[in-house]
Amino acid sequence: MIKKTGSAKWQGGLKDGKGHVSTETGVLNDQPYGFNTRFEDAKGTNPEELIGAAHASCFSMALSMILGGHDLTADSIETTATVHLAEKDGGFAIPSIHLDVTAKIPGATEAQFAEAAKTAKENCPVSKLFNAEITMDAKLV
């Protein structure tokens, strides 16, 4: 089993507190996050954008793998995951994630692309993690 880690440190209360998030590889190293980066427009990161980046990258790799199974190789796959954070039952929840995908795949038909994108959306490991509606717009260029 492969294991990867991310970590966070937090000090203070919800609104006045500050946190830092890091990844095992050091790509993120003590990056700031807090109430103001999550709910306002302060500089720093937040859990939702990190989830979006994880989902977009996982989906893109899964799509590439599925295409390879059909002897297709993408010149490019560009994916943006929009994570929706909403108030629910006195707290917050992530009810949905939307994937916007644009891919350039020489030799692919619309039907092949649509089926591969659907399969990747349903089966990438990060998609399987969520208990949220995951929608997608996929474009072959």
For 27, the domain range is: 6-39
Q: Assess contact for 39 and 14: CB atoms under 8 A.
A: no
Statement: residue 130 has pLDDT above 90: no
pLDDT score of 28 = 92
| Shared-domain flag, residues 124 and 102 | yes
| Shared-domain flag, residues 56 and 111 | yes
CA pair distance 45, 28, nearest whole angstrom: 10
Residue 1 located in a structural domain: no
| Shared-domain flag, residues 34 and 60 | no
| Shared-domain flag, residues 21 and 62 | no
Q: Assess contact for 64 and 72: CB atoms under 8 A.
A: no
pLDDT score of 118 = 97
Number of domains present in the structure of the chain: 2
Q: Assess contact for 136 and 101: CB atoms under 8 A.
A: yes
| Shared-domain flag, residues 59 and 127 | yes
Total-model pTM: 0.90
Statement: residue 133 has pLDDT above 90: no
| Shared-domain flag, residues 33 and 102 | no
- Token duo for residue 122: 């349903």
pLDDT score of 51 = 95
| Shared-domain flag, residues 72 and 20 | no
Residue 32 located in a structural domain: yes
| Shared-domain flag, residues 65 and 119 | yes
* DSSP-assigned states of every residue in 20-64: EEEETTSSS-SEEE-HHHHHS--SSB-HHHHHHHHHHHHHHHHHH
pLDDT tens-place string over residues 37-89:
999 989 889 999 999 999 999 999 999 999 999 999 999 999 999 999 999 88
| Shared-domain flag, residues 64 and 131 | yes
pLDDT score of 131 = 79
| Shared-domain flag, residues 85 and 136 | yes
| Shared-domain flag, residues 16 and 69 | no
| Shared-domain flag, residues 53 and 30 | no
Look up tokens 């619309």; give the residue: 110
Q: What is the CATH number of the domain that holds 121?
A: 3.30.300.20
Number of residues assigned to the chain: 141
pLDDT score of 24 = 95
